[in-house]
Amino acid sequence: MAMVGDRPASDVAASPARAMDVAKSHGVQIVDLRFTDLFGMWQHFSIPVKELKPDLFEEGIGFDGSSIRGFQHIHESDMLLVADAGTAVVDPLSRVPTMLLTCDVYDPIKRARYTRDPRYVAQKAEEHLKASGIATISYFGPEAEFFVFDDVRYDQTANTSYYFVDSSEGAWNSGREEKPNLGFKPRHKEGYFPVPPSDSLQDFRSELVLKMQEAGIEVEVHHHEVATAGQCEIDMRYKTLTKMADQMQLYKYLVKMLARSHFKTATFMPKPLFGDNGSGMHTHQSLWKDGRNLFYDADGYANLSQTALWYIGGLLKHSPALLAICAPTTNSYRRLVPGYEAPVNLVYSKRNRSAAVRIPMYSSNPKAVRIEYRPPDPTANLYLAHAAMLMAGLDGIKNKIDPGEPMDVDLYELPPSKAAKVKQVPGSLGEALDALARDHKFLLEGGVFTEDLIETWIETKRKKDVDYIRLRPHPAEFYLYYDA
């Protein structure tokens, strides 16, 4: 594909005139420029609509890169945002008519894309796929679960550490004096799929779906999830790698904003509740070439082709390293434990939700055949996570990595002698970061990831996540040890 300033020509061709037409036809007054920091946080600043000019899509607008996590040092802080006209969408939840534009990050000195811009990594992964000759398109369909709470309080000081979350739907409130308490609070692990009134968030999710559709997001289904206290899921129709990452940023924003407008709070934290299921982000994926699904073979196991099996082999082999990016918080490993439908076993299987890779069997349509990688969670930066999963899968295809035999049994019920032979995901973020430090050559292929980005990721995660938790007394330690 032709490039313009290290940017795909098809993106540039997405017409600034169209974005300006969107602004005019919707009476937009403010244009919000958005980009993603290294660790997945959506960042923004806004300009009056009169400043929406062609230069914004060509020359860009400056910002301070030293104030953004994982970006620049203070002596090299000047950076540029160049808006992608193809991402223009009117915010369905802003009181002031506002248009959102996703931007790419540029180095103003080199006039080149910034290597730590996660969106650039995702775009490079798509270009690398085409250059490999293996496929032309990668489709991704993440299922990002979340909780909706009524109240959250937390603090961390030298002499205090606590958190408190509450939900009128929480099983623990079945006996609370609510004057009146109307009951219908889902028991632990029984939130999937009781109808209202047990599912108290039906109207909230339906309203959210309508707002998502206003913003151009194709929604397939919404429902209450397994946990008590407002765990939800909304599934979007699959998209290509970068477009789905763009869409996920918008989705998470809309979830949080609508919750706030209802005087509730939403979180994508993987494990906010003890003793109940956590929130995952099972990620469906497939490769296509010339309109053909490369993962389909009518005669293969679960209708999977040899290409798909090698792709799975790459995912399983590199999973310890992948999880440093796909399950990138210390809290991620509170979810990845046996007994809560968590995919801790590095095997593959059809229909089996205890395996790291599941092959959905809802349809025999060749177009529907795909694999589902289950360890990721929604704290991941999807630009990087999608790119990393694709690179692992491509490495599997390139090197014909055998995933072994499928395991179509309840992996939690295996006898100890057999269970001991099943490889499992890392037990902590620290272990995953160690694995990434050892195993990241596959990410560097085609210049998709850079050593600089990976080094920054590992160093920052160790200091800001692992050490932050490791060095502080845990509240449960007082329960266990105060009387020592």
Please identify which of the residues 58, 64, 76, 477 carries the catalytic annotation: 64
3-state secondary structure of 233: strand
Please identify which of the residues 372, 377, 395, 465 carries the catalytic annotation: 372
Name the phi and psi angles at 357, rounded to 5.
-120, 120
Read off the tokens for 258. 């609508």
SS3 annotation, 311-325: HHHHHHHHHHHHHHH
Alpha-carbon gap, residue 263 to 260, rounded angstroms: 5
Please identify which of the residues 143, 276, 377, 395 carries the catalytic annotation: 143
Spatial CB neighbours of 477, under 8 Å, sequence gap ≥ 6: none
Active site annotation includes 225: yes
Alpha-carbon gap, residue 298 to 150, rounded angstroms: 48
Please identify which of the residues 7, 223, 353, 462 carries the catalytic annotation: 353
Q: What share of the chain is helix, strand, coil (3-state, %, to 5)?
A: 35, 25, 40
Report strand pairing: 292-293 vs 345-350. Answer: unpaired
Alpha-carbon gap, residue 70 to 75, rounded angstroms: 15
Please classify residue 480 by burial: count the beta carbons closer than 10 Å to its beta carbon, then call 0-12 exposed, 13-18 middle and 19+ buried. exposed
Please identify which of the residues 225, 246, 297, 465 carries the catalytic annotation: 225
Active site annotation includes 111: no
> Which of 280, 147, 129 shows the shortest CA–CA distance to 205?
147
> Residue written as tokens 């919000």?
32
Please identify which of the residues 224, 282, 284, 335 carries the catalytic annotation: 282
Nearest-10 Cα torsion for 345, 347, 350, 352: -10
Read off the tokens for 163. 């958190």
Please identify which of the residues 84, 104, 199, 233 carries the catalytic annotation: 233
Active site annotation includes 64: yes
Active site annotation includes 107: no
Active site annotation includes 452: no
Alpha-carbon gap, residue 252 to 151, rounded angstroms: 19
Active site annotation includes 467: no
CB atoms within 10 A of CB 381: 27
Active site annotation includes 145: yes
> Residue written as tokens 């937009």?
28
Residue 221: left (phi > 0), alpha (psi -120 to 50), or beta?
beta
Please identify which of the residues 34, 113, 374, 386 carries the catalytic annotation: 374
Active site annotation includes 462: no
63, 52 contact by CB (below 8 A): no
Active site annotation includes 353: yes
Residues carrying an active site annotation: 64, 143, 145, 225, 233, 282, 353, 372, 374
